[in-house]
Structure 1
Amino acid sequence: MKKRFLILILACLIHSCSKNDRGELIGVKSNKFFSDKPHGMILVPSGSFTMGPSNPSAVLDQNPSLKTVSVKAFYMDETEITNSEYRQFVNWVRDSVVRTELAVAAYYKIGEDNSEDDPLWDFMPVYSRPSDGEEKSAYQLYLEENGLGELDIENKTTYRLNWDVKIPWERSDYLDANYAAVLEGGIGPDLLEDYEGFFTPADSTPNGLRAFKTKRIKYNYRDFDSKNNKWSTFKEIEVYPDTTVWYKDFSYSYNEPMHNDYFWHDAYAEYPVVGVSWEQAKAFAHWRTFYKNQHQRKSRKNIQLVSDYRLPTETEWEYAARGGLERAEYPWGGPYTYDDKGCFLANFKPERGDYIADQILYTAEAESYWPNDYGLYNMSGNVSEWTDSNYEKAANDFVAGLNPTIEGSEENQLKVVRGGSWKDVAHFLKVSTRDYENKAKKRSYIGFRTVQSYLGEDVGFQENPNKIF
């Protein structure tokens, strides 16, 4: 009898554990989500503001109309993207391109021999396949039955690159003659094609050192169009900044040192990157999302991926630039470009032809001058910044009042540029001044910063941990 009683109790416990919702609607169990602050970013709280100029001028202002709008919280880069940060992107793309070519060369040279003694073995494409004697999983059998899952060297989605092995760049460290042929160009003793190579000869570079062929550093990606529920075609973007902008933007002007040194020299590592188009800035944001999520997948199981990094909309940019100061003309609030000691508050051109009146001739370090009340540096001056929004002159008259923007189209190639730069007069530094540029253009005075949407409960201004009192 006692035994039956114990069995009955055990059965009740099992039943109660398997159906602990008691027939109630309790929702699906989920992990507690905490929004991690991205490195180098500042939280801009949700809020509303009056978009448009404080003192409209029909002559100077591109859009004198006013509109009250509301914006959801987001993270924004504390500074403009620097040369150092953009170099990380360029170097990753460079390494990816080289690893891909080495993987293809290794595949055709080694084939199915599985010769681990071959110098190119470590660069073989990586793909999932069962080991000898290992039983195939149900999914592997499904792939096999449908002609899927096999390595296709022409299709990069069927394999991964081996990032664990370092690329020997120095000629003295080359693995063998075949490896040298891939990097330097030409024909290797065991390779089937004549390789283009990745380096420009030393006698063709300004400093007399061999340099990587920048035209070969291309980032391939595609976007998902959520409105039409489809992927875009693959885009191939040359990511290296155009250093010739220092010549092109200023006729009859000696700017050769900036052309030669600005992007790659460590003296300018923390200066804002310039010479990048809107398309290159978009590619950077896509890579930043991919790079972070790649780390997320490797670090922990069941971890949620981060929201996309992207360019700010025009509205987000103006809202962030104001720093919570309604009707302010500049990020620092006042109507003047200098403080009570006569010191300029931003890097710009105070007078015609006088670039040095503010003590800085070209760009300044990205973390220069005082930040605004959100903690954001150089929202006015230094370099103008790309936004994600298309330019329409009368935008304020028809955009929505909630997170307004104007999306891109093939017909309109103009993108809104905000903030003014080191070569602009004070008018362009006003938080409401609108400017624009063709999205394919690259300038010595246009850079960018990225944003990331804040997920979860809205954060109001009083809760903003970044506010400077």
Structure 2
Amino acid sequence: MIYYRLVVFILSGVVLFSCKNKENDEAIAIQENSNKEKNFKVITKKPSEVNTPEGMVWIPGGTFIQGARAEDEMAMKHEKPAHQVTVDGFFMDITEVTNAEFREFVEATGYVTIAEREIEWEEMKKQLSPGTAKPHDSILQPGSLTFKKTKNSVPNLYDYSQWWDWTIGANWRHPEGPGSSIEGKDNYPVVHIAYKDALAYCEWAGRRLPTEAEWEYAARGGQEDAIFTWGNDLNKLSEMANSWEGEFPKKNTKADGFENKAPVKSYPANPYGLYEMAGNVWEFTQDWYNVDYYKDLEKKGNIKNPMGPEKAYNPNQPRTPEKVIKGGSYLCHESYCASFRISARMANSTDSAQEHLGFRTVASVDMVGKE
């Protein structure tokens, strides 16, 4: 159930992790020579006997620096310290999973997403402080979070409730709530997908979610020092990604062509042939969100195929296990959420969904059929 997000809006008892945190940290310290004593065998080239699945592209394995670049003035504290990581090659969806693809899964399995299920109070209150009163049954109804523009300027961008609504009846079929539809939008990214929904799709499709390291490595596209998927020129944002332009959240000038979500392949692909790795909708990874994880990795030196921390830890959400999401969305703006950068990362609970969150899948070599 979408326990956490619903409680935030009904009870106002939880403070979300804010993405408006741009203070400059100390210079990034990258452990040098961490790879000298580690002779990793890395899958770089696609095995000749393995077929590339339809709709996917091969990502050649290698070593890279994960995390914020020293020259990135928009970087947040939890993107640091940068650290060396090695990943084996893998296949990745060229685009985010679309409405058409998700509909095929639902029609084949009868799956019901978290946003469409009845809410169970006994489960919800496990994430709340003891003694929290139960909301009225009229509020405890299936739904999800939808975005709303404000009529006036918003001086306090930490208060996200000014532009998010809990909307009963909002789900992947009705992304803006009752009365809205995905008719004619087969090639748009599916949204209002909770982590558990993404896992169910992956199991059906014979895929998995990317690790955070795999996602960031693929988004980088072999560009070692790039801040964005297209390089380092912020002035190209409008032509390269679907983000918020104008005054957030009051007015969107639509300089990039869209106010809300865009169809997949609306913007140029990165050097690996991946579309919309920046903006459009956030994407789930399989890693738990842990504020100490990057520090731990830096101490260990180069790690091959890191799977994320063993458990979630966010002091702002101690009762809510969260997963790392990457890529930013059409709502990201430099003044509030500059998450159209490669190293940007945020946290999302496993049982919550929103209008700007979707996913794409990956496949390891051993998951793919051979010729």
- So what's the TM-score if we normalise by structure 1? 0.51
Give the Cα–Cα distance (whole angstroms) in 1 for the partners of residues 93 and 295 of structure 2: 29
The Cα offsets for residues 304-331 of structure 1, whole Å up to 9 and x where unpaired, read as xxxxx10000000000000110011111
- Please show how residues 85-234 of structure 1 align to structure 2 within 5 Å: 85-94=101-110, 215=117
1:368 equivalent to 2:286? Answer no
Give the Cα–Cα distance (whole angstroms) in 1 for the partners of residues 331 and 176 of structure 2: 15
The Cα offsets for residues 262-300 of structure 1, whole Å up to 9 and x where unpaired, read as 6541x11100000010111011101112xxxxxxxxxxx
Of 200, 206, 218 in structure 2, the residue corresponding to residue 283 of structure 1 is: 200
Give the Cα–Cα distance (whole angstroms) in 2 for the partners of residues 281 and 257 of structure 1: 16
C-alpha distance 414-58 of structure 1, shift in aligned 2 (>3 A) = same
**Secondary structure at the residue paired with 1:246?**
strand
C-alpha distance 271-325 of structure 1, shift in aligned 2 (>3 A) = same
Give the Cα–Cα distance (whole angstroms) in 1 for the partners of residues 179 and 332 of structure 2: 23
Q: Report percent identity of matched pairs.
A: 32
Contact 1:328 1:335 (C-alpha < 8 Å) held by counterparts: no
1:50 equivalent to 2:59? Answer no
C-alpha distance 443-451 of structure 1, shift in aligned 2 (>3 A) = same
Give the Cα–Cα distance (whole angstroms) in 1 for the partners of residues 102 and 66 of structure 2: 31
**Pairwise CA RMSD:** 3.1
C-alpha distance 47-37 of structure 1, shift in aligned 2 (>3 A) = same
1:417 equivalent to 2:325? Answer yes
The one-letter code sitting in structure 2 at the alignment partner of 1:40 is G
Of 21, 41, 62 in structure 1, the residue corresponding to residue 56 of structure 2 is: 41
Q: Which moved more, 1:419-428 or 1:439-448?
A: 419-428
**Greater relative contact order structure (CA < 8 Å, 6+ sep):** 2
The one-letter code sitting in structure 1 at the alignment partner of 2:50 is S
1:346 offset after TM fit, Å?
A: 0.5
1:396 counterpart residue number: 294
1:451 equivalent to 2:362? Answer yes
The one-letter code sitting in structure 2 at the alignment partner of 1:389 is D
- Please show how residues 313-462 of structure 1 align to structure 2 within 5 Å: 313-338=211-236, 343-352=238-247, 353-355=250-252, 356-399=254-297, 401-407=303-309, 409=311, 413-426=321-334, 427-455=338-366
1:34 offset after TM fit, Å?
A: 1.4
1:338 offset after TM fit, Å?
A: 1.6
C-alpha distance 73-261 of structure 1, shift in aligned 2 (>3 A) = farther
**Secondary structure at the residue paired with 2:285?**
strand
C-alpha distance 272-53 of structure 1, shift in aligned 2 (>3 A) = same
**Secondary structure at the residue paired with 1:53?**
coil
Q: Which moved more, 1:344-353 or 1:71-80?
A: 344-353
**Secondary structure at the residue paired with 1:348?**
coil
C-alpha distance 56-92 of structure 1, shift in aligned 2 (>3 A) = same
**Secondary structure at the residue paired with 1:429?**
coil
1:77 equivalent to 2:93? Answer yes
Contact 2:145 2:164 (C-alpha < 8 Å) held by counterparts: no
The one-letter code sitting in structure 1 at the alignment partner of 2:256 is D
Give the Cα–Cα distance (whole angstroms) in 2 for the partners of residues 435 and 251 of structure 1: 17
**Secondary structure at the residue paired with 2:222?**
coil
Contact 1:347 1:381 (C-alpha < 8 Å) held by counterparts: yes
**Secondary structure at the residue paired with 2:240?**
coil
1:65 counterpart residue number: 81
1:69 offset after TM fit, Å?
A: 1.1
Give the Cα–Cα distance (whole angstroms) in 2 for the partners of residues 386 and 263 of structure 1: 23
Give the Cα–Cα distance (whole angstroms) in 1 for the partners of residues 143 and 104 of structure 2: 17
The one-letter code sitting in structure 1 at the alignment partner of 2:196 is E
Give the Cα–Cα distance (whole angstroms) in 2 for the partners of residues 253 and 442 of structure 1: 11
Contact 1:63 1:394 (C-alpha < 8 Å) held by counterparts: no
1:43 offset after TM fit, Å?
A: 0.5
The Cα offsets for residues 48-99 of structure 1, whole Å up to 9 and x where unpaired, read as 11111113559734232111111100000000000000000111122x89xx
1:354 offset after TM fit, Å?
A: 3.0
Give the Cα–Cα distance (whole angstroms) in 1 for the partners of residues 273 and 331 of structure 2: 24
1:101 counterpart residue number: none
Contact 2:290 2:309 (C-alpha < 8 Å) held by counterparts: no
**Secondary structure at the residue paired with 1:43?**
strand
Contact 1:263 1:273 (C-alpha < 8 Å) held by counterparts: no
Give the Cα–Cα distance (whole angstroms) in 2 for the partners of residues 263 and 418 of structure 1: 26
Give the Cα–Cα distance (whole angstroms) in 2 for the partners of residues 53 and 274 of structure 1: 27
2:36 counterpart residue number: none
C-alpha distance 451-324 of structure 1, shift in aligned 2 (>3 A) = same
The Cα offsets for residues 320-366 of structure 1, whole Å up to 9 and x where unpaired, read as 00011001111111231427xxx531000123233323220100001
Give the Cα–Cα distance (whole angstroms) in 2 for the partners of residues 261 and 430 of structure 1: 34
Contact 1:337 1:346 (C-alpha < 8 Å) held by counterparts: no
- Which structure shows the bigger proportion of residues in helix conformation? 1
1:392 offset after TM fit, Å?
A: 1.2
The one-letter code sitting in structure 2 at the alignment partner of 1:282 is L
**Secondary structure at the residue paired with 1:436?**
strand
Contact 2:144 2:352 (C-alpha < 8 Å) held by counterparts: no
The one-letter code sitting in structure 2 at the alignment partner of 1:354 is K
Where in structure 2 are there 5+ consecutive unaligned residues? Answer: 1-46, 119-141, 149-160, 313-318
C-alpha distance 322-337 of structure 1, shift in aligned 2 (>3 A) = farther
Give the Cα–Cα distance (whole angstroms) in 1 for the partners of residues 273 and 55 of structure 2: 11
1:268 counterpart residue number: 185
Give the Cα–Cα distance (whole angstroms) in 2 for the partners of residues 392 and 244 of structure 1: 25
**Secondary structure at the residue paired with 1:259?**
coil
**Secondary structure at the residue paired with 1:245?**
strand
C-alpha distance 252-434 of structure 1, shift in aligned 2 (>3 A) = closer
**Secondary structure at the residue paired with 1:89?**
helix
